[in-house]
Amino acid sequence: MADFRLSDEQRQFQQLAREFSQKEIVPKASQFDSTAEFPSEVCRQSWELGFMNLFIPIELGGLGLRLWDACLIAEEFGAACAAISSILVSHNLAQAPVIAGGTDEQKREFLEPLANEYLYAACSPAELSCKVDPKTVQVTAKASKDEYVLSGQKTWVSNASVARWYYVLASTDPTQGIDGLSAFVVPADSKGIVVGQRQPMLGCKACDVREITFVDVKVSRQCLIGQVGQGWKVTKMGFARCLPLWASVAVGLARAAMQHSIVYAKERTTFGKPIAQHQAVSFMLADMAKNIESSRLLAWQAAWLYDHEMPMSKQALMAKAFAVDTAMKVATDAVQIFGGYGYSREYPVEKLMRDAKVLQIYQGSSLTDRVMIAGSLIGV
């Protein structure tokens, strides 16, 4: 049975992430949201502490953390700013399939530089959705002598313009559906890559999200991760590891929204008493607490299973789906508790509500998660 008592080392990771995010991120989060400025300096500080490369093995310069340890860090970042959290998780998301399915040589070539220099990896978090519909993969890869030629587009690529390389799922045999997909690392300086305009978004405005077009981009066979036709397998192995991270970011966001709500509800009075003492508000706070706690435990359970090399894909999908929906509900209720002030940008909860919506979409929407959960239940 899982024991969720934190070790001294885990508490140190948690405390370091909390102190850094509250000191360096929280005071600047509103500014990044208002200006949509990419938070390069804050992310550089995160890199210096090792938080940008959670899973890169220690021998390559990363932290080499267990998934549960990484979830503790992700929650603290999520409580500070979902945009900056998304930048860091997306960076780790792009790395994850290389860590899971790359050769030792590929890991040294593609991962070690990220640990030794302040560099980014990028991918489309929506790659996991290809399980539901392989036709969503709009990039093809054709073998040509000692290389592959990639053509097509990727949308919603996170860290697009700052990346050293992209993790790309491409169709090498369109007739084979999901078994015709292959995975590649594509250097960002490859000839034929066109980086689109930055996508203006409702929330997580500091994120660098763009469309990437591949126009006959040539990459060596060394850039193929795994075997031809194993793209979905490699992607699933890597991306499943990051689902609990997204869940933990959502837990952190929801936790921040609840904390703001509690403070406000104890200070705001109506009919001669704090609104926290009115049943309508107190029940909202209680629901926040129980659903946040449930979300955290689901994320930790999935992480614990992964760390003990046990099947966890279904639990990871459940954790993410429940946690991101909880974050959206808690943030929306926080705005409700604040009333008119909650709708004003002078108060923090409206940003939390906008940011929470993005979490319901990243790395496959919560609806896609439900399709995959149901498929695992009925054997589809």
pLDDT, tens digit, for every residue of 105-147? Answer: 999 999 999 999 999 999 998 787 776 677 788 999 999 889 9
Which pLDDT does position 352 carry in this prediction?
98
Rounded-to-integer distance, Cα 213 and Cα 215, Å = 6
Which pLDDT does position 131 carry in this prediction?
66
Rounded-to-integer distance, Cα 300 and Cα 251, Å = 11
Judging by beta carbons within 10 Å of its beta carbon (0-12, 13-18, 19+), is residue 117 exposed, middle or buried? exposed
Which pLDDT does position 145 carry in this prediction?
84
For residues 289 and 259, the answer to whether their CB atoms sit within 8 Å is no
How much of the chain exceeds pLDDT 90, in percent?
89
CA distances from 34 to 30, 65, 88, 249, 338 (A): 6, 33, 20, 21, 21
* Residue 282, phi then psi, degrees to nearest 5: -65, -35
Strand 139-144 vs strand 120-122: parallel, antiparallel, or unpaired? Answer: unpaired
Arithmetic mean of pLDDT, 250-268: 98
Specify the length of the chain in residues: 380
Arithmetic mean of pLDDT, 2-14: 94
Which pLDDT does position 21 carry in this prediction?
98
Which pLDDT does position 1 carry in this prediction?
60
Superfamily name with CATH number, domain 8-120: Acyl-CoA dehydrogenase/oxidase, N-terminal domain (1.10.540.10)
Condensed to tens digits (0 to 9), the pLDDT of residues 226-258 reads 999 999 999 999 999 999 999 999 999 999 999
Arithmetic mean of pLDDT, 170-189: 95
Rounded-to-integer distance, Cα 142 and Cα 9, Å = 47
CATH class of 121-230: mainly beta
Q: Kindly give, in sequence order, each residue whose CB lies less than 8 Å from that of residue 119, ignoring residues fewer than 6 positions away.
A: 113, 164
Question: What is the average pLDDT value for the chain, to the nearest integer?
Answer: 95
Superfamily name with CATH number, domain 233-378: Butyryl-CoA Dehydrogenase, subunit A, domain 3 (1.20.140.10)
The secondary element (H helix, E strand) that includes residue 1 is none
Kindly list the domain boundaries of the chain, sorted by start residue: 8-120, 121-230, 233-378
Query: What radius of gyration do the chain's Cα atoms show?
Result: 21
Condensed to tens digits (0 to 9), the pLDDT of residues 280-325 reads 999 999 999 999 999 999 999 999 999 999 999 999 999 999 999 9
Condensed to tens digits (0 to 9), the pLDDT of residues 90-103 reads 999 999 999 999 99
Residue 81: pLDDT over 70: yes
CA angle 133, 134, 136 (to 5 degrees): 80
